[in-house]
Structure 1
Amino acid sequence: MKRKLTLMLTLLFVWTGVAWSQGVTVKGVVTSEEDGLPIVGASVLVKGTTQGTITDVDGNFMISGVKADSKTLIVSFVGMKTREVAIKKGELKIVMKSDAEVLDEVMVVAYGTVKKSAFTGSATVVDQDKIKSPAVSFDKSLAGQVSGVQVMSNSGQPGSGTSFRIRGSGSLKASNEPLYVIDGVATTSTEYSSIAEENESSSNILSSINPNDIESITVLKDAAAAALYGSRAANGVVVITTKSGKEGKARVNFNAQFSWSKLGKAYDMMSSADMYKMIYQGYRAKGETMEEANASAQGALTHNPYNVENPLDENGNVVDGAKLVVDTDWQKEVFRTAPSQDYNMNVSGKNDKTNYFFSIGYTKQGGITPASDFKRYSAKANINTKVNRWFNAGLNVTFSHSIQNTTVESSAGASPLYNALSFPNAVPVYIVDNEGNPVLDENGNKQYNFTNPVSRDFNPLAIPLMDVNRSKFYRLLASGYAEITFFKGFSFKTVFSPDYVSTDEHRYWNKEHGNGPTYNGRLDKYHHVDLMYTSTNTFNYANVFKDVHSLNVMAGMEYWQSTYETLYAGGRGLLGDMQELAGASGSFSPSSDTTKETLISYFGRAEYAYKDKYNFSASLRADGSSIFGADTKWGTFWSLGASWRINQEDFLKDIEWIDNLKLRLSYGTSGNKSGLARYASLGLWTTSADYLYGSNIGVGHDQLVNALLGWEKQGMFNVGVDFSFWNRFYGSVDFFNKTSDGLLYDVPLALQNGLSSITMNAAKTSNTGFEIVLGANILRGPLVWNMDLNASFIKDKIKDLNGENDVRMTDYQKIWSVGGSQYEFYMPTWAGVDPDNGSPLWYKVNDDGTRTTTSVYSEATYERQGRSTPLAYGGFINTFSYKNFDLTIQLNYSLGGKIYDNIYAGMMHDGATTAQNMHVDALEAWTTPGQHTNVPKYAVNNATNSASLSSRFLYDATNVKLKTITLSYTLPKNLGVFSKVISGAKLWVSADNLCTWFADKGYKGYDDIDIYGVQGYKTYPYSFPTPRTFSIGANLTF
């Protein structure tokens, strides 16, 4: 087993001595039978007492004050079979045997726990030591670690969100995000930021959870695992278990981490000299004289990058005495090296009655662009107590306050990335003289330049510092429970959990430059409050009959309610630099809104095992939601599962090399309602100035009554095999088929209805796939090498679109067809460049089916170009341990699929937007008849549409990413005088998102293709890529 990798988990579960008295001293050493190496962190306990310790880095232990009448030690370690050893004089030598299956390991599932050996579903557990990363939210840490899961960062801005997919996307219109359950309570992953929505940026409510407080994450993937969450489980469930106190005296743990982030690969843009020459030649080709063309080029660029008036001669050569004085690399100017810091401290402990865990944390993550950062203050208290033999109670409270400053990520003038990739290098950052020297103001300071040919009155360094886009999030998540045991095996548990989320947002446009002068300064204020509470009551019965029949039955009822309030107020005509509404001379129409949603549920589960060999499970849940129509408010969801531990059969018991062989089978249904408006089934009217009657604002129909609007339903079949051989190789293989029916779909309406469409349950899709997990303990000592590989193969298919077919998406890049994928690209096929005249060419399919080329874009035929989703994806993780050193290397890969690079398309405009900067590839533009190139001719104000939507900018997305390298060193126990205070210390260095290798060498974009999302493109493509991050850190235990 992987002793080093499980050391951190072991330390959380071992027992340490708290009862001391006069007596003898017992000492010894614990080693592994496999390789004779010492076992670090094994628990050694005097039987019948709470007196014990853990082994040190050499496997040694010593317990003082052991009573003379004590007879036995209990020795345990995760992944090893527990031993009971007689206490004898002298040094004990204890050898432990591996338990490859770790059969009694308990995993957290819906509304409880289950032994891993008895589990009938498909799930993956990620322990705390694999969650650590520079990311401020835990979801980003899971990328590449769980089969069947795709985690894609929406943006590289601090505190940004992710697209999280479990076994593909099941819905066409509703959300495809999973349900998140924190300490047994289903919670929200809603986007609460109006600023993020308007700026095309991203925020992430999951960043309110401090990753350092997380004990483990369980990803529930099939119906047997997730169906008990009913109408919220169609997209899978992510169960987060936070830390609690462990056996022993109080422990104090402190860790600190420092990081530095910077942009990885950048686009290779034209220099100001090349851009100037290309524009100059374009004007010369239009018949302008040398002087006119120089003037036109400078007018187009709004600046002369040279120190003379006419820097290029008749032939386009630089004249004597001309010197290039401005050549701004805007990507280097906009992107910076951003520091981050993270501090966490916790105190925990446990005795016979009570366990407790208290923590505080502070995180400050800098963004790689100006005015972009994220701060979080967090605190947690988790207390559980056994009041008496029949009554238990506990309280778990988490509070966080975060502040996120963002910058615009749309293709608008306020977007730093858009401007950095669009401003020609001839535009200086600061106002300069004819020699390129900064012109200082009366205070001796440089003055930002706001003159450019792309975005009026903008500067990508200055505007983010002058404007404000700030969001403040407050979250209080609490859970209190009481549990009564009536008699052996029968108990009742009640849980009440409020979840309060508040957002205050401040958006300010300065009155001097950018968008603000239009309003003489503008200020918007937003306030959001979401108060949710969950009340859950369950009865549980568990018993074992005649040592062979195990029964576990649970029945419960749950009520969930959310009240969401929003408030907006805005002002313009601001007084000076005042950023308060009181200083505004005019206002925008204020608005407010309050919505409420409720969900009531009844559910039950039964689990039966015979001889711990044959396991069966069943679940049933009925959900009633306020969202849906009067005739469809209730939905029923169920699951059946079975597993067979084949290696426990008599015919395999004597085959020693088979450690574990288990077959799993399940089918069940679940539902989806996330992403649907709270009053989607009701007839709604709206007030609008569009309906003016005299001086009165009118009322118009906004939504038709839809009494039949109901749940999206999903049925999933899963069959899987878990295996472990020779105590060295292990893994699992799963096949699944997920069918989603009654999907929400906008059905067209006749215009006389007053509305163009109505949302109905009218579509059907499926996802079919394989998941493979393989692991091996390659070397066992003194150098330990463990390898883990996961691979996922998923294919989606549209089965019904309410009788329609070939439905074009509004962005015209995708098409939905029955039998096809919802991620199918649809655009003209690029045919290259006409070598005779340099015109762009596309393929045209004639009426008789023949293919010809055309240089007229409107005549090109739209064709299917392949999917944006990969054929396979996963992660490859190698862990090496030698003495006190540990090294982890993680590679993530994606095979197949395509991405459309909107950004690169904008850089290859061939003169359509004359002065917008271009990629260096544009220097390969056609110039001479007979020339073979893939870049059309350049012409000022080019109207050939050569950069329009086509397969010219579509690329194979196959890539391998070096996701993480981490090197850590555990300090020896003997630290001299520090050993009396410090019981453990660990240092580490790491690098994240180092580089990405692409199979398609034509791709010229950023290393991080996650920003393209599952769709493979973005309508507003200027999201910041995830940066490279280098970190150092230390962990101390007292």
Structure 2
Amino acid sequence: MKKKLERYTWLCILLISIGVTAQETKPLIQSKLEGTVVDAVTKEPIIGASVTIQGTTHGVITDTDGKFYFQTGQKFPYVLLISYLGYKKQEVVVNKNDITIDLSEEQNALSEVVVTALGISKEKKSLGYTTQAVKGKELATTKETNFLNALSGKVAGVRITNSQGDMGSSRIIIRGETSIAGNNQPLFVVDGVPVDNSQLNFGGATRDFRNAIADLNPQDIETLTVLKGPNAAALYGSRAAHGVVLITTKSGKGQKGGYGVTFNTGITVSQVATLPSFQNSFGQGSNGKFSYVDGKGGGVNDGVDESWGPRLDGRLIPQFYSKGEAVPFVAHPNNVKDFFNTGLTYDNSVSIAKANEKSDFRLGVNNQKQLGTVPNTEINKTNFSVNTNYQISENVKVGVNANYIVTDAPQLPGGPTGGRAAGVMLQFLWFGRQVDINELNKDWTQNWNNSYYSNPYWNAYYNTTSQQRNRLIGDIHLDAKLAEGLNFRFRTGVDYYNDRRKYTIKYGTNGTPFGSYAEDAYTVNEQNTEGIFQYTKQLNDDFTVDALAGFNIRNHSDANNYQKAPRLAVPDLYTLTNSRDP
């Protein structure tokens, strides 16, 4: 049993930062051009700006320091075309190397209001740091099962990576790696409530489980704002050292004069895009020889699973499916590709909203069913959401937000396979090129000529990794106007979930002949209560007073009950775990 309990309290934070940038002078090289694109007002680097040489196909985007680089073989002068969303496009004539280009914001962008730390709204032009917002519609259009994948390419300086496709985790890094400790991901805040984004992979599992923030339904997101630097995220403390992702969910505020019903449905088709390149000249065996003996290796090849055997030229050799008869020894170039299915994801959601002068509400339900490209893999997720507000009096408003998520995955890819293989693709790295995958699919229980791995279909249907998670994210909040320019906001919120995982290896699996069974049981609970006083007063056209004071009380606990039965010598562990019988 592992438990942790933490409590943090803060009263007021004041930060002042001064930055000085030095630029090294470099000699003029006519075929080479380097430069930096910065904001004309703040002088901060602009990440992801497009820089193109007029009249050519040479184009690049600026990196995390706002820098760009060309090696063109052309001579000066150049005419550069620079553009970035929210900024005026520029044409710059360049006669020297190593330049700095200032971009000015569009006039309509100067008055843009953005949500910053602690849900405070400010004009973008008044900020001394970088933020970038994405509308929820942009996240929902792509129908990603993990909404983080939909952020890829939409926010400058943000990198999204995933290792096991659309059924695995996605990692988000803002402005590069900043810590050697390994955890460089930002803090997520949903409607003012900090939420967990862990994977909780403590039990030695081989499966890359989805990160917890993937529980959210992109259809419920109104806006997503990324706070990119320490200045922007300072009010959230050390947890926000790698940035903050602020998520605001949809409400019923825009639905006037009656009930509004929204229905969305979609089907996504997915296929494995890239596989390793395999040779198809030699089959399984050693020293140019191969012999099948009762499906357990042995004989000439002595249990070898490498492809150092005979040429795949059609010579007659007994094989695992031929019942001792000699059959052509030929390559099956698609024997790995044919193992994978066409994945399907069904996504359906419905919401109802209404608003009047005193109140508004929105109720939503989303159901997502995903059938993976690996046979017998499946994830089901259902989200229930509610967002409601009520104006008690002219100066006092109260509200409730809640999101309840149920995730049920009877089988995930990349689970326990027994033997040397610990994932889907690893079992194919030494796969004999003469093996016909369709013959293996006919009878998943039959032996075959590989003493190290079981039939891949045996692993897919009998050696399972399942997951069940129930989660509640919600808060109760109050907004009060105490005096002219003085407002008070109170919020108490919770992020609670339990996560149960089961790992089963069937009795008789190669490498684990007696089978095994293990469970992980995680519980995560975080509660945040905060009160904020904000005072704003416009002194004149040039000066504004903006003061903030408040407190936050955080209680966090997590528990892990890990149980393992490594060698259960039972006749059929598969039956005991109630897995589906194919």
Name the TM-score, length of structure 2 as normaliser.
0.70
C-alpha deviation, 1:466, in angstroms: 0.6
Contact 2:444 2:458 survives alignment (8 Å): no
Pair 1:245-2:258 in alignment? no
Of the three residues 526, 530, 533, the one matched with 1:532 is 526
Larger radius of gyration: 1
C-alpha deviation, 1:199, in angstroms: 0.6
Mark the CA change 1:309 to 1:130 in structure 2 (over 3 Å): closer, same or farther. Answer: closer
Name the amino acid aligned to 1:236: G
Name the amino acid aligned to 1:564: D
Residue matched to 2:426: 418
SS state of the match for residue 556, structure 1? strand
- Which deviations, in whole Å up to 9, do the C-alpha atoms of 1:612-653 show, x marking residues without a partner? xxxxxxxxxxxxxxxxxxxxxxxxxxxxxxxxxxxxxxxxxx
SS state of the match for residue 216, structure 1? strand
- Which deviations, in whole Å up to 9, do the C-alpha atoms of 1:450-496 show, x marking residues without a partner? 4344624x122221211220011111001111122222221221110
Residue matched to 2:193: 185
Contact 2:261 2:350 survives alignment (8 Å): yes
C-alpha deviation, 1:398, in angstroms: 0.4
Residue matched to 1:395: 400
Of the three residues 307, 313, 335, the one matched with 2:340 is 335
- Which deviations, in whole Å up to 9, do the C-alpha atoms of 1:532-551 show, x marking residues without a partner? 10011111112223455332
SS state of the match for residue 565, structure 1? strand
Pair 1:260-2:256 in alignment? no
Pair 1:372-2:377 in alignment? yes
List alignment gaps of at least 5 residues for structure 1.
Answer: 1-78, 80-98, 284-294, 312-320, 433-437, 439-444, 583-1038
Pair 1:107-2:114 in alignment? yes
List alignment gaps of at least 5 residues for structure 2.
Answer: 1-85, 87-105, 291-298, 320-325
SS state of the match for residue 388, structure 1? coil
Contact 1:226 1:236 survives alignment (8 Å): yes
CA–CA distance in structure 1, aligned partners of residues 366 and 508 of structure 2:
39
Mark the CA change 1:299 to 1:383 in structure 2 (over 3 Å): closer, same or farther. Answer: closer
Pair 1:545-2:539 in alignment? yes
Q: What pairs up with 1:218-233 in 2 under 5 angstroms?
A: 218-233=225-240
C-alpha deviation, 1:279, in angstroms: 5.0
CA–CA distance in structure 1, aligned partners of residues 570 and 374 of structure 2:
27
C-alpha deviation, 1:184, in angstroms: 1.3
Name the amino acid aligned to 1:226: A
Q: What pairs up with 1:142-153 in 2 under 5 angstroms?
A: 142-153=151-162
Mark the CA change 1:574 to 1:299 in structure 2 (over 3 Å): closer, same or farther. Answer: closer
CA–CA distance in structure 2, aligned partners of residues 310 and 373 of structure 1:
37
Mark the CA change 1:487 to 1:277 in structure 2 (over 3 Å): closer, same or farther. Answer: closer
SS state of the match for residue 237, structure 2? helix
CA–CA distance in structure 2, aligned partners of residues 208 and 322 of structure 1:
51
Q: What pairs up with 1:350-361 in 2 under 5 angstroms?
A: 350-361=355-366
C-alpha deviation, 1:408, in angstroms: 2.6
Contact 1:537 1:556 survives alignment (8 Å): yes
Mark the CA change 1:264 to 1:545 in structure 2 (over 3 Å): closer, same or farther. Answer: same
CA–CA distance in structure 2, aligned partners of residues 577 and 204 of structure 1:
29
Residue matched to 1:555: 549
Pair 1:523-2:517 in alignment? yes
C-alpha deviation, 1:574, in angstroms: 3.6
C-alpha deviation, 1:413, in angstroms: 2.2
CA–CA distance in structure 1, aligned partners of residues 463 and 431 of structure 2:
20
Q: What pairs up with 1:811-850 in 2 under 5 angstroms?
A: none
Of the three residues 155, 180, 183, the one matched with 1:172 is 180
Residue matched to 1:919: none
Residue matched to 2:13: none
- Which deviations, in whole Å up to 9, do the C-alpha atoms of 1:734-772 show, x marking residues without a partner? xxxxxxxxxxxxxxxxxxxxxxxxxxxxxxxxxxxxxxx
CA–CA distance in structure 2, aligned partners of residues 362 and 397 of structure 1:
17
Q: What pairs up with 1:621-660 in 2 under 5 angstroms?
A: none
Name the TM-score, length of structure 1 as normaliser.
0.41
C-alpha deviation, 1:563, in angstroms: 1.4
Structure with greater strand percent: 1
Name the amino acid aligned to 1:467: N
C-alpha deviation, 1:579, in angstroms: 5.8
C-alpha deviation, 1:246, in angstroms: 2.6
Mark the CA change 1:581 to 1:257 in structure 2 (over 3 Å): closer, same or farther. Answer: closer
Residue matched to 1:504: 500
Pair 1:475-2:484 in alignment? no
C-alpha deviation, 1:268, in angstroms: 2.4
Contact 1:334 1:420 survives alignment (8 Å): no
SS state of the match for residue 422, structure 1? coil
Q: What pairs up with 1:257-406 in 2 under 5 angstroms?
A: 257-271=266-280, 274-276=281-283, 279=286, 281=288, 296=300, 300=304, 308-309=316-317, 323-324=328-329, 327=332, 329-404=334-409, 405-406=411-412
Name the amino acid aligned to 1:554: L
Contact 1:522 1:574 survives alignment (8 Å): no
Residue matched to 1:745: none
Name the amino acid aligned to 1:188: D
Contact 1:301 1:426 survives alignment (8 Å): no
Mark the CA change 1:447 to 1:557 in structure 2 (over 3 Å): closer, same or farther. Answer: closer
C-alpha deviation, 1:253, in angstroms: 0.6
Mark the CA change 1:310 to 1:496 in structure 2 (over 3 Å): closer, same or farther. Answer: closer
Name the amino acid aligned to 2:504: Y
SS state of the match for residue 517, structure 1? coil
CA–CA distance in structure 1, aligned partners of residues 318 and 187 of structure 2:
64
Contact 1:428 1:449 survives alignment (8 Å): no
SS state of the match for residue 198, structure 1? coil
CA–CA distance in structure 2, aligned partners of residues 417 and 322 of structure 1:
28
C-alpha deviation, 1:504, in angstroms: 1.1
CA–CA distance in structure 2, aligned partners of residues 173 and 235 of structure 1:
12
The root-mean-square deviation of aligned C-alpha atoms, in Å, is 3.2
- Which deviations, in whole Å up to 9, do the C-alpha atoms of 1:553-584 show, x marking residues without a partner? 211111111111221233423464466599xx
> Between Structure 1 and Structure 2, how many residues are aligned?
449
CA–CA distance in structure 2, aligned partners of residues 345 and 277 of structure 1:
54
Name the amino acid aligned to 1:485: K
- Which deviations, in whole Å up to 9, do the C-alpha atoms of 1:12-41 show, x marking residues without a partner? xxxxxxxxxxxxxxxxxxxxxxxxxxxxxx
Pair 1:455-2:449 in alignment? no
- Which deviations, in whole Å up to 9, do the C-alpha atoms of 1:24-67 show, x marking residues without a partner? xxxxxxxxxxxxxxxxxxxxxxxxxxxxxxxxxxxxxxxxxxxx
Residue matched to 1:134: 143
Mark the CA change 1:399 to 1:447 in structure 2 (over 3 Å): closer, same or farther. Answer: closer
C-alpha deviation, 1:164, in angstroms: 1.3
Pair 1:493-2:489 in alignment? yes
